[in-house]
Amino acid sequence: MAAPTKGPRLGGGPAHERLMLANLAASLFTHKSIKTTETRAKRMRPLTEQLITFAKKGDLHARRRVLATIGDKTVVHELFTEIAPLVALREGGYTRITKLGFRKGDNASMVQIELVLEPVNPKPKSAKKLAAAAAAAGDVAAPVEDETVVAEDEAVEAPVEETAVEATEAPAEETK
């Protein structure tokens, strides 16, 4: 006997739940944004993220695994040709859930789940990490950011040397 799934059950048996989540994912890939209950969106998010990760691989095996879940060839084609290139640089977090309020009929919490298709703005790496990466790679040429850091370090060292020279001159005058 299969172990029960974690989290709330979405009505019916496990097969019904699998099909419903697959249909929600297909709708999300088709429309790029759908409105559903919070529970369904939270249960659908891992499945959607996994399917997009397969689509980013782009090989035949990945396409067949996605087809085994979704089943609609047009949706799978759209996922592999349109959505996967847009999220190629993103390392996860392909979906965004926004709360909308409560449904009028049964007071269910409603959300909008959408694909995050904006380009990724990578965080700039710190100078220490760049220097460590350059040292690990054995590169002789340092990145441009490291050169600016070195120039700042030289500017800081120059006044220190002047004070050291002044300190050595002062005791010489006292001994005379």
DSSP tag of 101: E
Neighbours of 117 (CB within 10 A): 14
Please, what are the domains in the chain?
A: 14-115 (3.90.1030.10), 127-175 (no CATH)
The model's confidence at residue 176, banded by pLDDT at 50, 70 and 90, is very low
User: Which residues contact residue 101 at a Cβ distance below 8 angstroms, ignoring those fewer than 6 apart?
Assistant: 109, 110
Handedness of CA 151, 157, 159, 162 (dihedral sign): negative
Distance CA(81)–CA(10), nearest Å, equals 31
Q: What is the pLDDT of residue 168?
A: 52
Residue 153 has pLDDT above 60, yes or no: no
Distance CA(82)–CA(59), nearest Å, equals 15
User: Does the pTM exceed 0.75?
Assistant: no
pLDDT digits (tens, 9 = 90+) for 99-123: 999 999 999 999 999 999 998 887 7
Distance CA(53)–CA(50), nearest Å, equals 5
